[in-house]
Amino acid sequence: MEKFLSIGNVTWVHFNNPSSHDIKEIVDTYDVHDIIEQDIKETNTHDKIDVYDECIFLVLHFPKYDKINNKYFSNEFNIIMGKNYIITITSHHTNHIDNIRKQYSEDVDSKDIDEEFKISPYYILYKIIDVMYDKELLALNKFNIDLSKLEDAIFDKKILNETLLSHLLTKKRNIVLLKHLMLPQSEILEELQNATVKFYEWELDVYFEDLVYKTNKIIAAINMAMENTESISTVYNISANIKTNNVISVLTILTVLVWIMTMITWFYGMNVQLPLQEYPYTSFAIIWWMLFIWLLLLLVFKKKKRI
């Protein structure tokens, strides 16, 4: 879609990873403060809200999924909101912004949105955050499904390996990132409600209260997912230890069994007079004797459930 989109008397400008020329265009057209320009140029700015005489500046971070590496990373949203314009700037492209702009513009043109307060930067901001939160809730739902599959896989001893551990560590990294991205936003939304009073006469508190509710819901879901991830990690470590102990037990038993045969053959390998050495079938008797002891010990270990 085009960078500049007119919706009623509101202009919505969107840039994805803007160039220096794009940033200069924003600064010159909307006369934004130098601090805003500096924050837009910098990367990894912390979540914040700055209120100026003519606009509100927001920095929010939402997760973006890397399908190749199965990891989330932070997508920074810089939002400048004036009385009749809103500027959204993202570090990475997201189809959600394009879909919101397209659907919102079509709804206005078809008069599906006829309330005056909904044709405003304030309401557009609500729609952006609301869609991104819905996306996170869906992602958390999928996250929990994946955790259930990991939990089932842990109890399958055949696939308790490095690949499973890698998936588990990736899940832990993802959920920690989601938590760090969401924690600051509840406080920022409350500040935003207070800040918009001086810019907009319409009461939209109910909408932003819904966002606060969703924020709390997301944080609660993240905390639960973190606890589940830690629990599964503990189960994995216990299962790995049990598997290691079983392997060591089997090796120890094999060592004992081999040691019995080695001791007997070593005894009859001495260069001294030994019992039964004058008989031609003594070697066969020794072999059968070793096998008898070996089977006897094997039955003992099996009865003790050591193997």
* Structure confidence by residue, pLDDT tens digits, 36-46: 888 888 877 88
104 and 249, same domain (yes or no): no
Say how far apart CA 64 and CA 34 lie, in whole Å: 29
Is residue 158 scored above 60 in pLDDT? no
| pLDDT confidence of residue 123 | 85
Say how far apart CA 146 and CA 36 lie, in whole Å: 40
248 and 136, same domain (yes or no): no
CB 208 within 8 A of CB 193: yes
130 and 262, same domain (yes or no): no
* Structure confidence by residue, pLDDT tens digits, 67-97: 888 899 999 999 999 888 999 999 998 888 8
Q: Which domain CATH number covers 172?
A: 3.30.460.20
- Examine the fold and report which residue of 241, 270, 292 is the final residue of a domain before the chain moves on: 241
* Structure confidence by residue, pLDDT tens digits, 186-212: 889 888 877 777 666 666 677 788 888
* Structure confidence by residue, pLDDT tens digits, 272-294: 666 666 667 667 777 777 777 77
| pLDDT confidence of residue 221 | 93
- Examine the fold and report which residue of 218, 241, 264 is the final residue of a domain before the chain moves on: 241
* Structure confidence by residue, pLDDT tens digits, 92-112: 988 888 888 888 777 766 665
Full domain range(s) for residue 203: 4-241
237 and 271, same domain (yes or no): no
189 and 88, same domain (yes or no): yes
pTM, entire model: 0.76
Chain centre to alpha carbon of residue 238: 23
Contacting residues for 55 by C-beta, under 8 A, at least 6 apart: 30, 32, 36, 80, 81, 82
297 and 228, same domain (yes or no): no
- How many structural domains does the chain have? 2
